[in-house]
């Protein structure tokens, strides 16, 4: 129902009066005038039309005045008391707004004012519950959030400190949540979180705590431990529960989870410290293998300190010319000649020596420095390929890896076009490699960017194929030229029939899509002969050459023209690599 000023005209009029300020005072004034004006008018009229002596007139006036004052006083007192429910309701609302104090009003009366008080109590209590839930609980899973979990954990720590009991804090991450979210949508991802929350809740007791503290992260606290070994059985139970398939509106998926464990008081005696230790442990668990749990250790903390030190030094590595490129050749299986090289980043720090890319590239990805570093790699590789084409007189592709942050750049295509123009390299001699997991982070945007790059004339390769999520479903949509078989399949392709079957299937699929096929990680002659027999077009790996510096790669390219057979080429490349 819409209320207009016309219906509130008297209230609007009274609200404009400067005095009295309170609504109750204004009602009292109206009541005073309402009782006195007609009474005084009647009294004056009575005195005018009757001839009384002065004494009688004064006596009548006095009696009338006293009676009026008494009646007015009683009336105003009654009005004051009748307005009390409204005033108390107003004060209760203000107390909740200012002090979060719930109202204590009677709710048993059924007239208009009684219903007003009862509805106010009910409404504020429901509002308080809603605010409490929004403030302290996760909207998707209805689990406690990080704030409430921290408060409850702090209370548990105080209790366990006095009782000298152990307590375990665990961080659980869903490692493939982002891929599932990107592939199936937010509704399916929300359902996944609710199912995971239900399964976790079924594994904990009423004394334990469960919370969702991040987009793909849960926190668990086991408060009644007798030994840290008790956590192992709990983690196994949780991982087995989460390993069961989940139906997401017709799509069956399997979650990949990792658990990090911190034990109070050994791994921290505060909420923040225990959560930090658990998060350090969960990252280590994921690095070791999927669906794994890991206890925190001092060694992990040392690794964290090392990471922070590397991050600090990495900020200046580019401007201090500490970065360099190594190149690993790819060999055509028919001719035995180099047809492409992959540019691989190396970091030579004057204090720490040669640092493994496995250590510093994830750091660069995390802090964003991979973007300027990646642009430097691209420019350097294009420049070098242009020099090789002039000095060796050979059409050669150079492959450069794109990072997730680079692929997310809105001006990536323009930057690559600018570098190609700057280095005067034909786009056909540049190959950009992306991983399928990177593509799945933002599928539609990734496909759009790759299509623009293909229109530019750049070759595109899908790296580490077979290790990501839903590859076969989306492969036909990717505008690719090359499919690279991941080294994990090639490693045991001869001895393991399953890896052989997977490799054969990938090769058959690539052929059906008319894609160039490259096998990575070829290290033995048996592996080489197997993938060649299956129809791989190009081979990359230590069987021919490890990644080598620019000068060694230049020498290899110049001499490679005279060594077309694979055996002689392999021996030559290894000798050059060893010398450098």
DSSP H or E stretch at residue 552: helix 550-560
Q: How is residue 201 written in tokens?
A: 């809740």
Are residues 131 and 185 located together in one domain of the fold?
no
Please tell me whether residue 430 adopts helix, strand or coil conformation: strand
Taking a C-beta distance cutoff of 8 angstroms, is the pair 294, 260 a contact? yes
Domain housing 190 = 146-296
CA distance 463 to 102: 61
Task: Say if residue 273 is in the same domain as residue 418.
Answer: no
Is residue 510 predicted with pLDDT exceeding 80? Answer: yes
1, part of any domain: no
Q: What pLDDT score does 6 carry?
A: 62
Closest CA to 426 of 391, 400, 460, 398: 398
Q: Are 120 and 185 part of one and the same domain?
A: no
> Residues of the chain with pLDDT > 90: what percent?
35
The pLDDT assigned to 516 comes to 92
Q: Indicate if 108 and 153 belong to the same structural domain.
A: no
In this predicted model, which residue has the larger pLDDT, 438 or 174? Answer: 174
- What pLDDT, on a 0 to 100 scale, did the predictor assign at position 574? 43
* pLDDT confidence of residue 38: 65
pLDDT surpasses 70 at 203: yes
Order of strands across the sheet that contains 292-295:
209-212, 217-225, 166-174, 257-264, 292-295
Collapsing DSSP to helix, strand or coil, 387 comes out as: helix
* Position 400 in a domain: yes
CB 185 within 8 A of CB 267: no
Q: Are residues 365 and 431 in the same domain?
A: yes
pLDDT at 110 over 60: yes
More confident residue, 357 or 68: 357
What pLDDT is attached to residue 153?
Answer: 93
Q: Which residue, of 106, 135, 164, is where some domain finishes?
A: 135
Token pair, residue 2, equals 């819409």
Please tell me whether residues 24 and 121 are part of one structural domain. yes
What is the domain-level CATH number for residue 528? Answer: 3.20.20.450
**Residue 580 confidence (pLDDT):** 35
The more confident residue out of 341 and 404 is 341
Number of structural domains (the chain) is 3
With respect to residue 196, please indicate whether it lies within any of the assigned structural domains.
Answer: yes
Output the pLDDT for position 240.
92
Q: Given 234, 261, 296, which residue is the final one in a domain? A: 296
Continuous segment of H or E residues that includes residue 180: helix 177-184
Are 272 and 398 part of one and the same domain? no
pTM strictly above 0.85: no
User: Are 342 and 412 contained in the same domain?
Assistant: yes
In the predicted structure, residue 471 carries a pLDDT above the cut 80: no
Residue 399 · residue 461 · CB < 8 Å: yes
Query: What is the model's pLDDT at position 564?
Result: 39
573 inside domain:
yes
Share of residues in the chain with pLDDT > 70 (%): 81
Element (H, E) at 503: helix 497-512
| Least-confidence region, from 238-242, 281-285, 431-435, 441-445 | 441-445
In a domain, 305, yes or no: no
Q: What is the pLDDT of residue 52?
A: 63
Within a domain: 562 = yes
At 288 the three-state DSSP class reads helix
From CA 437, how far away is CA 153, in angstroms rounded? 36
Examine the pLDDT at 467 and tell me if it is beyond 90.
no
Q: Is the pLDDT of residue 429 over 90?
A: yes
On whether both 150 and 35 belong to a single domain, the answer is: no
> What CATH number does residue 244 fall under?
3.30.70.270
In this structure, are 358 and 285 located in the same domain? no
Q: Do the beta carbons of residue 254 and residue 246 sit within 8 Å? A: yes
At residue 12, the 3 state secondary structure works out as helix
User: Given 135, 157, 178, which residue is the final one in a domain?
Assistant: 135
Give how far the C-alpha of residue 558 lies from the chain's centroid of Cα atoms, to the nearest Å.
Answer: 49
Q: Is the pLDDT of residue 490 over 70?
A: yes
Of the candidates 445, 312, 323, the one whose C-alpha atom is nearest the C-alpha of residue 378 is: 323
Tens-place pLDDT, residues 362-420: 888 877 889 999 999 999 999 999 999 888 867 899 999 998 888 888 899 999 999 99
Assign 251 to helix, strand or coil: strand
Is residue 131 domain-shared with residue 152, that is, in the same domain?
no
pLDDT digits (tens, 9 = 90+) for 298-339: 666 666 577 778 888 898 898 899 999 999 999 998 888 899
Q: Is the pLDDT of residue 569 over 80?
A: no
- How many CB atoms sit inside 10 A of residue 268's CB? 19
Q: How many angstroms separate the first and last alpha carbons of the chain?
A: 86
Taking alpha carbons only, the member of 373, 398, 368, 357 closest to residue 550 is: 398
- For 11-46, the pLDDT digits (tens) are 566 667 777 777 667 677 777 766 666 666 666 766
**Token couple for 140:** 């998707």
The segment with the largest mean pLDDT, out of 3-7, 46-50, 96-100, is: 96-100
Answer with the residue of higher pLDDT: 286 or 559: 286
CA-derived radius of gyration, the chain: 39
**Which of 219-223, 475-479, 503-507, 519-523 bottoms out in mean pLDDT, i.e. has the lowest?**
475-479
Is residue 315 situated within a structural domain? no
Structure tokens at 180: 């599932």
Place of tokens 């990805």: 365
Q: Is residue 164 part of a domain?
A: yes
| pLDDT, tens digit (0-9, with 9 covering 90-100), for 56-107 | 767 766 777 777 777 777 776 666 666 777 778 878 888 877 877 888 777 7
CB-count burial class (<10 Å; 0-12, 13-18, 19+) for 490: buried
Predicted pLDDT of residue 578: 36
Computed from CA positions of residues 147, 150, 154, 155, in that sequence, does the dihedral angle turn out positive or negative?
Answer: positive
pLDDT over 80 at 447, yes or no: yes
Q: Do 74 and 167 share a domain, yes or no? A: no
Q: Look at residue 575 and tell me whether its pLDDT is greater than 50.
A: no
């Amino acid at each position: 129902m819409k209320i207009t000023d016309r219906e509130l005209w008297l209230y609007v009029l009274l609200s404009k009066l400067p005095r009295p300020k309170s609504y109750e005072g204004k009602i009292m004034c109206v009541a005073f005038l309402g009782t006195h004006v007609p009474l005084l008018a009647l009294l004056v009229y009575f005195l005018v039309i009757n001839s009384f002596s002065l004494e009688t007139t004064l006596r009548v006036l006095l009696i009338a005045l006293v009676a009026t004052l008494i009646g007015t006083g009683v009336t105003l007192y009654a009005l004051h008391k009748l307005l009390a429910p409204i005033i108390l309701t107003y004060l209760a609302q203000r107390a909740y707004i200012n002090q979060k104090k719930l109202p204590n009003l009677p709710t048993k009366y059924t007239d208009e004012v009684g219903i007003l008080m009862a509805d106010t109590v009910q409404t504020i209590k429901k509002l308080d519950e809603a605010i409490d839930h929004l403030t302290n609980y996760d909207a998707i899973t209805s689990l406690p959030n990080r704030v409430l979990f921290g408060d409850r954990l702090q209370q548990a720590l105080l209790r366990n400190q006095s009782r000298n009991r152990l307590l375990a804090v665990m961080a659980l991450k869903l490692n493939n949540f982002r891929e599932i979210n990107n592939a199936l949508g937010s509704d399916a991802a929300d359902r996944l979180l609710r199912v995971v929350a239900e399964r976790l809740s079924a594994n904990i007791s009423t004394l334990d705590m469960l919370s969702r503290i991040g987009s793909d992260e849960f926190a668990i606290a086991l408060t009644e431990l007798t030994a840290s070994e008790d956590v192992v059985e709990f983690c196994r139970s949780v991982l087995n529960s989460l390993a069961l398939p989940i139906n997401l509106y017709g799509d069956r998926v399997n979650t990949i989870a990792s658990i990090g464990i911190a034990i109070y008081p050994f791994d921290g005696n505060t909420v923040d410290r225990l959560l930090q230790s658990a998060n350090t442990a969960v990252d280590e668990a994921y690095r070791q293998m999927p669906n794994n749990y890991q206890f925190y250790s001092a060694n992990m903390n040392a690794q964290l300190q090392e990471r922070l030190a590397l991050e600090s030094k990495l900020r200046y590595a580019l401007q201090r010319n500490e970065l360099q490129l190594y190149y690993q050749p790819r060999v055509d299986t028919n001719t035995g000649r180099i047809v492409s090289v992959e540019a691989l980043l190396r970091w030579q720090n004057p204090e720490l020596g040669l640092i493994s890319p496995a250590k510093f590239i994830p750091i660069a990805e995390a802090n964003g420095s991979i973007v300027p570093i990646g642009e430097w790699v691209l420019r350097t590789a294009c420049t070098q390929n242009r020099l090789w084409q002039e000095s060796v007189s050979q059409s050669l592709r150079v492959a450069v890896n794109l990072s997730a942050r680079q692929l997310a750049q809105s001006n990536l295509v323009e930057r690559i076009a600018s570098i190609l123009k700057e280095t005067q390299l034909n786009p056909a001699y540049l190959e950009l490699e992306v991983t399928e997991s990177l593509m799945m982070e933002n599928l539609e945007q990734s496909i759009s960017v790759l299509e623009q790059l293909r229109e530019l004339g750049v070759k595109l390769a899908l790296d580490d194929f077979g290790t990501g999520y839903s590859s076969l479903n989306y492969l036909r949509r990717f505008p690719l030229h090359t499919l690279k078989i991941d080294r994990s399949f090639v490693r045991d392709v001869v001895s393991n029939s399953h890896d052989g079957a997977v490799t054969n299937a990938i090769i058959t699929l690539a052929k059906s899509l008319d894609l160039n096929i490259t096998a990575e990680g070829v290290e033995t002659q048996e592996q080489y002969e197997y993938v060649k027999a299956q129809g791989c077009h190009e081979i990359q790996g230590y069987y021919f050459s490890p990644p080598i510096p620019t000068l060694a790669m230049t020498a290899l390219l110049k001499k490679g023209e005279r060594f077309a057979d694979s055996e002689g080429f392999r021996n030559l490349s290894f000798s050059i690599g060893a010398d450098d």
